[in-house]
Amino acid sequence: MIASLMMYMRPELDAAHARYWGLIRAELSARGVAAPLALSHDVDEFKVWNDPYLVLSQTCGMPYRKWLHDKVTLIGTPDFGVPDCPPGYYKSAIVVRADDTRGALPDFKDARFAFNQTFSQSGFAAPYAHTKPLGFWFTDRVQSHSHLSSARAVAEGQADIAALDAVSWRLIARYEPFAERLRVLEWTSPTPGLPYIAAAGADQPATFDAVSAAIAALEGPDRAAMGIQGLIPIPKEAYLAVPNPPESDS
């Protein structure tokens, strides 16, 4: 068995996530679903997502619709209360340096764009969908491998612009001093948030109920630290309806 909730992990949240998993594990046990004692945060994400004994993990919308939707069980989508988004949805903050005098997104068409992964909905697909109607896509791109690294690259002048998951940006703004050197230029349109998944054949109703009960049982400080508000049953079709950037632009 394996479980991992790696997507929004930070050292400052380790204890809160451990308590959250303890609640989930207890609720799963009460419903007859076995679960590992601890989360596996250091295992490669694709190895976790494709593990035949996956109890629970969180993936990104783009990997889910491209590679996982027919191989895993969609449990539900945690709602992080992102402003101006439906429950369970999120968007991307397009960030630039605070002292950059360019004022509109088209002014950055020749800028260096930092992205975490080409298979990231918030870091790659969302800004692609946001810029293409404006007649461009960034050709000068640098891969950072994480939203935190993308944000730091912009703040330190190694890149000029990046798109960050709204929840990740919330945490970066809270915990990283360099965030004061950044500003949000624009927000992308909302799309379904990062879903919880389990292995194919998992008991979806029991797992959904267990996670929902765990969220409801969170202590106030842990709930505030993680920002999680509930679990939303967003259907598979909503994820599959989000377009992928063409391979030629990746």
Edge-to-edge strand ranges of the sheet holding 54-58: 2-4, 54-58, 196-199, 72-79, 230-232
Tell me the mean pLDDT per 10 residues along the chain, length 250.
96 97 98 97 95 98 98 98 98 98 97 98 98 97 98 98 98 98 98 98 98 98 97 98 92
Give the CATH class of 2-81+192-249.
Answer: alpha beta
The full set of domain ranges for the chain reads 2-81+192-249, 92-189
Q: Which two tokens stand for residue 53?
A: 């004994």
Distance (Å, whole) CA 223 – CA 217: 9
Tokens 């968007």 map to which residue? 91
Q: What is the pLDDT of residue 86?
A: 98
Total Cβ atoms within 10 A of residue 50: 14
Q: What is the pLDDT of residue 77?
A: 98
Distance (Å, whole) CA 77 – CA 56: 12
Q: What is the pLDDT of residue 121?
A: 98
Q: Structurally, what CATH architecture does the domain formed by 92-189 represent?
A: 3-Layer(aba) Sandwich (3.40)
Q: What is the pLDDT of residue 249?
A: 84
2-81+192-249 against 92-189: fold identical: yes
Q: What is the pLDDT of residue 184?
A: 98
